[in-house]
């Protein structure tokens, strides 16, 4: 089984990890949240500069924590797509340099594939086929996992991603950034039934609604109008009730689509990945609904829900075990469909 060192710099976390097949030997994550908070979101140029300053120290720390030397490393991996282009280039350049210096194969990894593999880190018995509900700040997708490198997107958001909706709603209620953890914390003390909110549905040209696609722009607009109305009627907003009502609506929408998709395709396991997988409301709703249908639901530990390098290393190890390696001419791409993952490898 392959032991891989991976670098993840697709957005605002500088992460390095070493994974032996599906076992995490070290995981270093340096978050930039405090740096970007004053801006209310991620500033790409700032993120890239921070990665440059931190990545070398993170690599050294990961090696020290794993108590390995370079002779124990079988491959060097890096997230190469999708993400902020400048940020991706920092990690990919560092990985290429290490691969050349230590004469190790390079494995480029699709960021979304990494989130799929986050569940493998604890559910070591997990094998395809299964359904992945991938919910993050930039993505909301239902992905049919057929095998390593072979994926089909069955459902996706038509506008805002779930995590993006959390951030925008938190901003309109002046709660700060990032919005997901703040809303989750407030929702614990609120009434989720206080304010009925629209789930958001995607119409089909032939009539009816799409069973797997989602939309959160209408929900975001409804929250805007509701808060404006409440501000005119009361001195202070019922923040906890608003947070609980919004969170429950998102969780129910995601749960309905994931359950329907799994049942329609005869898949008995739903693996959840991405930052929103840490949300307590989603965990509760999906686990309850899945139990009623005898479906297995897997949530990664909280440290592997948000961006991390352990999930990237796990995906890379599986590819390397199958002989999939990337050329040193591999470039960073801000976008790439997950169905095109195998384009990253010279041998398939």
For residues 227 and 86, membership in a common domain is answered with no
For residues 81 and 99, membership in a common domain is answered with yes
The 3-state DSSP class for residue 28 equals strand
Question: For the residues of 141-201, what is the DSSP string, one character each?
Answer: EEEEEEETTEEEEEEEBSSS-HHHHHHHHHHHTT--SSHHHHHHHHHTTS-TTSS------
For residues 54 and 73, membership in a common domain is answered with yes
For residues 162 and 286, membership in a common domain is answered with yes
Structural domain for 267, as ranges: 128-299
For residues 93 and 15, membership in a common domain is answered with yes
* 267 within 8 A of 129, measured Cβ to Cβ: yes
For residues 160 and 260, membership in a common domain is answered with yes
Q: Give the β-pairing of 23-31 and 130-135.
A: unpaired
Please count the residues of the chain. 348
For residues 25 and 162, membership in a common domain is answered with no
Kindly give the confidence (pLDDT) of every residue in the chain, 348 residues in length, as a single tens digit, with 9 standing for 90 and above: 899 999 999 988 899 999 998 999 999 998 767 777 777 777 778 878 888 999 999 999 999 999 999 999 999 999 999 999 999 999 999 999 999 999 999 999 999 999 999 999 999 899 999 999 999 888 899 999 999 999 999 999 999 889 999 999 999 999 988 899 999 999 999 999 999 999 888 878 888 888 999 999 999 999 999 999 999 998 889 999 999 999 999 999 999 999 999 999 999 999 999 999 999 999 999 999 999 999 999 999 999 999 999 999 999 999 999 999 999 999 999 999 999 999 999 854
CB environment 164-181: b (16+ within 10 A), e (fewer): bbbbbbbeebebebbbbb
Q: Give the integer Cα–Cα distance in Å for 248 and 179.
A: 15
The number of angstroms, rounded, from the C-alpha of 21 to the middle of its chain's C-alpha atoms is: 20
For residues 280 and 132, membership in a common domain is answered with yes
Using CB atoms within 10 Å of the CB of residue 39, give its burial: 0 to 12 exposed, 13 to 18 middle, 19+ buried: exposed
The 3-state DSSP class for residue 138 equals coil
For residues 91 and 169, membership in a common domain is answered with no
For residues 82 and 105, membership in a common domain is answered with yes
Q: Which residue has the tokens 């480029």?
A: 108
- The closest alpha carbon to 133, from 259, 299, 272, 296, belongs to 272
């Amino acid at each position: 089984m392959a032991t891989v060192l991976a670098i993840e710099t697709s957005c605002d976390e500088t992460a390095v990890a070493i994974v032996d097949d599906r076992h995490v030997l070290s995981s270093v994550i340096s978050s930039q949240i405090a740096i970007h908070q004053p801006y209310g979101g991620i500033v790409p140029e700032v993120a890239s500069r921070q990665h440059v300053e931190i990545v070398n120290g993170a690599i050294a720390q990961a090696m020290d924590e794993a108590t390995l030397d370079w002779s124990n490393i079988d491959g060097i991996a890096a997230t190469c797509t999708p993400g902020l282009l400048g940020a991706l280039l920092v990690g990919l350049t560092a990985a290429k340099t290490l691969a050349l210096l230590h004469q190790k194969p390079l494995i480029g990894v699709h960021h979304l594939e990494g989130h799929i593999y986050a569940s493998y880190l604890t559910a070591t018995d997990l094998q395809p086929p299964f359904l992945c509900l991938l919910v993050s700040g930039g993505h909301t997708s239902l992905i049919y996992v057929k095998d390593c490198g072979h994926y089909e997107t069955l459902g996706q958001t038509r506008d805002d991603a779930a995590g993006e909706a959390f951030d925008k709603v938190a901003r309109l209620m002046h709660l700060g950034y990032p919005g997901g953890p703040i809303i989750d914390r407030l929702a614990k003390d609120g009434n989720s039934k206080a304010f009925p909110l629209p789930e958001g549905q995607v119409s089909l040209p032939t009539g009816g609604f799409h069973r797997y696609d989602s939309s959160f722009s209408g929900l975001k607009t409804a929250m805007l109008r509701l808060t404006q109305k409440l501000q005119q009627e009361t001195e202070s907003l019922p923040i906890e009730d608003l947070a609980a009502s919004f969170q429950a609506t998102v969780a129910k929408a995601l749960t309905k689509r994931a359950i329907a998709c799994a049942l329609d395709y005869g898949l008995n396991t739903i693996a959840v990945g991405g930052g929103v997988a840490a949300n307590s409301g989603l965990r509760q709703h999906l686990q309850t609904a899945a139990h009623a249908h005898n479906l297995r639901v897997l949530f990664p530990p909280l440290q592997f829900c948000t961006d991390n390098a352990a999930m990237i290393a796990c995906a890379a190890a599986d590819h390397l075990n199958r002989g999939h390696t990337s050329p040193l001419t591999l470039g960073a791409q801000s976008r790439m469909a997950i169905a095109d993952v195998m384009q990253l490898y010279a041998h398939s």
